[in-house]
Every structure is written in C-alpha cells, then in structure tokens.
Structure 1
Amino acid sequence: MTDQPAVRDNTDKHRFEIDLGDGDFAIAEYRLHGDDILFTHTLVPETHEGQGLGTALIKAALASARKRGLKVHPHCKFFAAYMKEHADVQDLLTPEWRAKLGVE
C-alpha cells in the first residue's frame, strides 16, 4: 500500500480503526488504565490482509500513546511482535513488558 490509510481513534468503541469503505474496519482494540494503555486485539479482515493495515494501526496507536504520555501493555501478539522488533518504540513499554519481551 503506497498511501497511508486514515487511522482514527474511536474512543466510544475503545479502538483505533481504518474504515475500509466496504462496511468493514481494520481495528486495534485497547483499554485505558490510569497512565497505561493495554492493546488487546488487532483485526484486519481477511480480504484486506497484506496491505500494511495492521502496521498502520500499530504505528498510529503507538504515536497516540507517546503523545498522551501513556505506557504500553502489548497484550495483542501483533503489538508485542512489532514492539520487540522496533527499538524506537520500546521506551513506551512498561518495565514488566520490557522484561517479558526481553528488551531490557
């Protein structure tokens, strides 16, 4: 995908989302807990896989967490894998998650 899709934070549904224009959404669900954000589930409809939508959701969600001063709990395996591989976002991890992911 050459253009970055529009990602919005749907605070009513507690998710970052991309409207795919066909009635479907790619989503990254979260829960807020004090100064922490817990990313719990990411879903890209099968018909839209392989277009970089999951990565776009993760990047937007982590940028939002950084802007808001939130620490991240990547319960979603996609968030955890992304954060483990990208040192530039590892400072957002809670100490517990830094240890879990081995990014001390």
Structure 2
Amino acid sequence: MKPEFETLPLVDNAGGHRFELSVNHATAYMEYGERDGAVALFHTEVPAQLEGRGVGTALVEKVLAEVERRGQPLIPLCPFVTSYLKRHPEWQRLVAPAYQRWFQPSPQA
C-alpha cells in the first residue's frame, strides 16, 4: 500500500453493508455481507477521480486486515478482490475452505 493511504481510516458502514475509504473528499467502497459466519465481499467501487492511484489496492488490503482482525473466514465474490488474492497468495489463508479451490493451480492437461 502506498504510504499516503496507510494512515487513512477504514470505515465500516454497517448500515450500508460496505467498507469505505475516503481520499481527497471522494469515497471508495467495498460492499459486503455476512454468510454462514463469514464475510462475503461482493463489489468494489473506486470513483473515477481516484482510479489508477492505488486506492483500490489500499481498500482491499485494509479490508483483508479487518477481516483477519475479526477472525472470520472470507468469501471473495468480488472480481477485484479475487484478482488481488491471486496476485497476493499470502492473504489466501483468510479464504473460507469452500472457496479455496478458486486459488488452486489448474491441473495440467
């Protein structure tokens, strides 16, 4: 995560079922829900004025750290989160067992 985002607080907007990260008066967010005791991440949205600056990555990293802090398994349904997890296998330890297969190498043909 870029240093400029490290001190920004992640807000859990429980009423809106989303995690939020505000940067320069704009808010990126990740929609989530609870499923069988796990945190399901559905969708990530980064405003156009924040795109390409690493805000989405900072949001994902902060959310993953929060999920880990809560001690809940993760259900990564958001394509942005899934893509991040594939590039950063160290976070795959949070993924609920039923979803681990998404991150296993494909069998060779």
Q: Same fold (TM over 0.5)?
A: yes
TM-score (norm 2): 0.83
- Aligned-residue Cα RMSD (Å) equals 1.8
Q: Hey, which of these two has a bigger chunk of helix by percent?
A: 2
Unaligned runs of 5+ in 2: none
Give percent identity, aligned residues only: 32
Structure-1 separation of matches of 2:9 and 2:24: 11
Please say which structure displays the higher CA radius of gyration: 2
The letter for the 1-side match of 2:64 is L
Unaligned runs of 5+ in 1: none
- The aligned residue for residue 103 of structure 2 is 101
| Equivalences, count | 103
Structure-2 separation of matches of 1:49 and 1:6: 19
TM-score (norm 1): 0.87
- The aligned residue for residue 7 of structure 1 is 10
- The aligned residue for residue 71 of structure 1 is 73
2:53 partner SS: coil
